[in-house]
Structure 1
Amino acid sequence: MKVKLLGSALLASAVALAGTGLAQADDFPSKPLTLVVGWGAGGSTDIQARVLADIMSEELGQPVNVVNQPGAGGGVALARLANSRDEGYTFVFGTSMTITFGPLSSETTYDLDDFRYVAGVTLGQSAIVTGENRPFGDSWEDLVAYAQENPGTSYATQTALDRMIIEYIAQQEGLDLRIVPTSGGAGMAPLILSGDVDFAYSGGTHSGYAETGEMPVLLSLAEDRLVAFPDAPTLQEAGYDINAAEIRVAMVPQNTPDAHVERLAEALKAATEDARFIEITEERILMPVTWMPEEEVTQLLSDQIEGYKALIEELGGLPGQE
C-alpha cells in the first residue's frame, strides 16, 4: 500500500511540475524585456526601435525597455546577445548586414548560427548617390561613362560591404576610382553636397533630401527600386549580379524556446500593422514595412552570406585588406 501511495504521489508531483513548466512557457513574458539597438540614439534604427517597443509593450503586457549598445556597426550588440541566456527577454533590433557581412569582413565572436531571427519588419533603402550639377547628371550609365573617361573619379565609402560592391563594379566597368573613407551619413553628406566627391554610398541619408533633390540616387542597393527614388535602377537592373538587400530584423539567442520566439513574433506582426510604426517607417524614414517570418529571414541571410563569400573570392580578398 505504501509503495502504491508513494507511486501516486510521485506521479502527481511530476504532473504538477510539468504543468508548472507549461505555465511558465505560456506566461512569457512574465517580466520586463530589453530591446537592444546596436547604434546610437537618434538614428533611424533607434527611432524605429522605440516605436516598436511601445507597441510590443502593449501586445505583451510587459514593459519593453530600449537600450543602445553602439559599436562595430552593430556588432557589439550582437556579440553580447550571443552570450545571453535570457531566452527572449533580451533581443536585438538591427540590420542584416551586421550578421551577413560583419563576420566575413572582421573578426567577430558570433556568426549566423548563434541567433534565431524572429522576423524581418523593414526593407532597407541603401543606395549609391551623387550631388546636384554633376557632369553626369543623375544617370548611373552616364556616371559610368564619365568615370571611364576620368580616372580618379571619387567615391565616398562608409562600410566594408559597400567598398566591396564598388570594387566589383569598378572591375566590371574598368574604372579607376579614388576611394574616400567616411564615417556614416554625417561624414558623407557634406562631401557630396559640397562637390568634394563625385558619388557615394548612402545607407539612408539620401531619404532626407528626397524633396529637395540635393542628393539624387544613381543606383538602388535594395532588391527593388527605392520608394522615394523610383527612377533609379537596382543593382540587378544595371547588370550586376549582387544581392545586397538589407532587412531590419529582430534577433534572439539560439537557445530561446520556440514558445518565446512565437510570442515575440506575434507582437512584432502586430507592430507592422500598427499605424504608428507604419507612419514612422514609411512616411518619416521612407522605408517599406514588410513581414518576413523566421524561416524566410534565416534562408535569406544564409543565401546572402554565400553570395558575399563568392564575391570576396572573385575579387581575391576584401578591398583595402592586403
Structure 2
Amino acid sequence: MKIQRRGLLKAGTLAALGGPLIAPAWAQGGAFPNKPVTIVVPFPAGGNTDIVARTVAVALGKVLGQSVVVDNRGGGGGSIGANVVARAQPDGYTLLLCGAGVVVTVPEMVKTAYSRKDFAPIGLVNKSSMVLLARKNDPRFKTFQEFVAYARSGEGKVNAAHSGPGTPNHLAQLQLEALLKAKFTPVSYKGSGPALVDLIGGQVDVHFDQVTSSLQHIRAGTLEPLAVLGPTEDPALPGVKTVAELGFGQIDGTTYVGVLGPSGMPPALQEQLAKALAQAVQDPQTVRSARELGSVAISSTPQEFGRILDAEYTLASAAAKDGRLKVD
C-alpha cells in the first residue's frame, strides 16, 4: 500500500509564480467561451475548498473574459456535486473543483453514479501539506520519535483522529501505519473542526490534518506539529521536519485540489482550459489567498493531474480491498 506521489509533478511544469502569463489559445478568435462558465464545488460554502474556488473563479474570469460562477453542491462526501459535472455536456462550461478523493476515493467506499473515468483532468490549482498533530506539551510524546516509540509499544495504544473515511487525512493515517508498522485506534470525525476540538480537549491523542485547518491552533500554541506528512517541509511551518527527514521513510499525504471537466471533452478544449487555469493560478490575489490559508497555489498539465488521480486511486482501492476504507 506504499504509494509515492513524489515526482508525479515535474518542477518545470508547475506554474512559475510571477513568471510570464500564457496567452489563451482562443484569443485569436476562437468561439470558446461565449457565455459564463460554472465551477461546481461539491461542498458547502465557507470551507477551504470553497475559498480556493472563489479566488480561482475571479482570476479565471479575467483570463477568459467571461463570468465564472461558483455553484456549491454539497452532500454525499462530494458525490452529489461530482455527479452534476460527470453528467454535464463536455463543452467546458461546467467544471468541478475538488480534491482527488471526491472522484477516486468516494466511489471506492460507496456506490456512486460516476467513476474516475467520467472526468477529464484539467489542472491543479492548490496544494496543502498534511501534518501530524498532538497537544502542546503532551507528556507522553513531545517529538515525532517519541510518538513512534509510544505507538509501537502497544497495538491500538494511540487514538488517532481523522476527518472522515476516505478523506486525505484518513489515507495519510493508513500510510503512516504501514510505514511505521504500528496499529492505531482510528477515530473518525465529520471534518477537521470537531477533531481539533477533541484533540485540544484530550479526547484523542493525535490528529491527521491539513495545515490549512490547523495553522491557527499551531500559531496559538495549543497544538504541536510532530511532523509534516509530505515530501517537503511546509513554508507555513518553519523548522518542522518531514517523516523522511526524521529517518522513518517516505510518505506523501499532500492534499491536491484541481479542476476537472466531464470526460469526452475535446483535447484542444482541455488544453485551452489548462493554459487559462495556469494563468489564473499565477494571479497575485490567487497566490496571496493560498498563502493566507497556509497552502500553495500551483498549476499542472492535465497529464500530471491525471497521474495524481491515478496514484490516489491505487492507494484507495488497496485500502478498500483489505477492509480499511469503509463508511462509518
CA distance in 1, matches of 2:164, 2:267: 34
Once the two structures are TM-superposed, the CA of residue 164 in structure 1 deviates from its matched residue by 5.1
Matched position secondary structure for 2:61: helix
CA distance in 1, matches of 2:75, 2:257: 17
Q: Does residue 1:186 correspond to 2:193, yes or no?
A: yes
CA distance in 1, matches of 2:75, 2:63: 30
Q: Does residue 1:110 correspond to 2:114, yes or no?
A: yes
CA distance in 2, matches of 1:113, 1:29: 25
- Unpaired runs of 5+ in structure 1? 1-21
TM-score between the two structures when normalised by the length of structure 2:
0.81
Report runs of 4+ in structure 1 exceeding 6 Å deviation.
none
1:158 is matched with 163
Q: Does residue 1:288 correspond to 2:296, yes or no?
A: yes
1:83 is matched with 87
Amino acid at match of 2:114: Y
CA distance in 2, matches of 1:223, 1:118: 24
**RMSD over aligned Cα, in angstroms?**
2.8
Once the two structures are TM-superposed, the CA of residue 82 in structure 1 deviates from its matched residue by 0.7
Once the two structures are TM-superposed, the CA of residue 242 in structure 1 deviates from its matched residue by 4.8
2:9 is matched with none
Deviates more, 1:132-141 or 1:302-311: 302-311
Are residues 95 and 35 of structure 1, via their aligned partners in 2, closer, same or farther at CA, if it must alter by over 3 Å?
Answer: same
CA distance in 2, matches of 1:191, 1:290: 32
Of 37, 61, 71, the residue aligned with 1:33 is 37
Q: Is the 8 A contact 1:169 1:240 kept in 2?
A: no
Are residues 241 and 63 of structure 1, via their aligned partners in 2, closer, same or farther at CA, if it must alter by over 3 Å?
Answer: same
Once the two structures are TM-superposed, the CA of residue 43 in structure 1 deviates from its matched residue by 1.0
Are residues 274 and 167 of structure 1, via their aligned partners in 2, closer, same or farther at CA, if it must alter by over 3 Å?
Answer: closer
Amino acid at match of 1:250: V
Of 245, 258, 279, the residue aligned with 2:254 is 245
Once the two structures are TM-superposed, the CA of residue 86 in structure 1 deviates from its matched residue by 5.0
Are residues 296 and 226 of structure 1, via their aligned partners in 2, closer, same or farther at CA, if it must alter by over 3 Å?
Answer: same
Matches within 5 A, 1:1-322: 26-85=30-89, 87-149=91-153, 152-161=157-166, 162-163=169-170, 165-167=172-174, 169-170=176-177, 173=180, 175=182, 177-203=184-210, 204-237=212-245, 239=248, 242-282=251-291, 284-313=292-321, 316-319=322-325
Q: Is the 8 A contact 1:242 1:307 kept in 2?
A: no
The answer to which structure has the higher helix fraction is 1
1:19 is matched with none
CA distance in 1, matches of 2:90, 2:178: 46
Are residues 101 and 234 of structure 1, via their aligned partners in 2, closer, same or farther at CA, if it must alter by over 3 Å?
Answer: farther
Count of aligned pairs between the two proteins = 298
Q: Is the 8 A contact 1:39 1:70 kept in 2?
A: yes
Q: Is the 8 A contact 1:210 1:228 kept in 2?
A: no
Are residues 302 and 176 of structure 1, via their aligned partners in 2, closer, same or farther at CA, if it must alter by over 3 Å?
Answer: closer
Q: 1:161-198, CA deviations, whole angstroms, 9 ceiling, x for partnerless residues?
A: 44454356446656454332211122112111122211
- Unpaired runs of 5+ in structure 2? 1-25
Are residues 33 and 226 of structure 1, via their aligned partners in 2, closer, same or farther at CA, if it must alter by over 3 Å?
Answer: same
Which of the pair has more CA radius of gyration? 1
Q: Is the 8 A contact 2:97 2:258 kept in 1?
A: yes
Are residues 319 and 55 of structure 1, via their aligned partners in 2, closer, same or farther at CA, if it must alter by over 3 Å?
Answer: closer
Are residues 221 and 160 of structure 1, via their aligned partners in 2, closer, same or farther at CA, if it must alter by over 3 Å?
Answer: farther
Once the two structures are TM-superposed, the CA of residue 118 in structure 1 deviates from its matched residue by 0.7
**Aligned residues with identical type, % of pairs:** 24
